[in-house]
Amino acid sequence: MAHWNILCDFDGTIAIEDATDALLERYAHPDWLKLERDWREGRIGSAECMAGQVALLNASREEIDTQLAGLRIDPAFPAFVDAVNAAGVTLRVISDGLDYAIKSILRRYGLEHLPVQANHLVQTGPRSWKLETPFADAHCRVNSGHCKCSSAVRAHNKHRRVLLIGDGASDFCAATEADFVFAKHRLIEHCRHADIPHVSIVGFADAIGLLPALLAGKLHTPRRTLAAERISS
């Protein structure tokens, strides 16, 4: 039976809302939207975008905590974590969002034990913050804060396959490096266009249902085989 490392996006995948956007909408100078537009239109990478946005935050730690306390996760995610643990599979959260937000939300659901790789939110004054990007990569093709493609490459070894679970643009490059993808939202279309082996899911209730088939090797087809099928057909 193949062993798997699961890499799981946070905002929009585990968390229903985008925690970073929720903080920016409430507490950042409106110029954060200009940076957001520059990122969406490809003029800057997410590293530059988020560093600029976090610098525009004007909020105390208490205010940030209050805002985070209102954010929810997919109600089936805790049961998915249980199923994954029972199967001896590792799961790590890989996010281009904010570690402080992710850890605070996961703690509320008793999931603080999950390993998290994300951008680091640092308080620099009573109401000021800055972003550090410990998982950035100088060679990142899309200049992400967290280069998820590098994280996906590192999660591979000769004993483990990589399953990516994600929903959006920050997952596109990692999807290319994964052996299989559980895709939500915009990531579905991306996997379809890029010929990445995937199934589409609405949420973690679907992921729980798919896990036994994945572990039994019934979902995953090695890419070499897929390519060979395309050539011979």
Query: Which residues lie near Mg ion (CB under 5 A)?
Result: 9, 11-12, 167-168
Q: Closest separation between CB of residue 144 and Zn ion, Å? A: 5
Q: Closest separation between CB of residue 128 and Mg ion, Å? A: 26
Residue among 23, 114, 149, 187 that touches Zn ion (CB under 5 A): 149
8 vs 155 by CB, closer to Mg ion: 8
Does 147 interact with Zn ion (rule: CB under 5 A)?
Answer: yes
Partner that binds at residue 183, options Zn ion, Mg ion, none, CB closer than 5 to 8 Å by kind: none
Q: Closest separation between CB of residue 12 and Mg ion, Å? A: 4
Q: Closest separation between CB of residue 230 and Mg ion, Å? A: 29
Partner that binds at residue 83, options Mg ion, Zn ion, none, CB closer than 5 to 8 Å by kind: none
Partner that binds at residue 74, options Mg ion, Zn ion, none, CB closer than 5 to 8 Å by kind: none
Part of the chain binding Zn ion (CB under 5 A), chosen from 7-15, 133-141, 187-195, 213-221: 133-141
CA distance 78 to 98: 20
Q: Closest separation between CB of residue 10 and Mg ion, Å? A: 7
Does 7 interact with Zn ion (rule: CB under 5 A)?
Answer: no
Does 140 interact with Zn ion (rule: CB under 5 A)?
Answer: yes
Q: How many residues are listed for the chain in this entry? A: 233
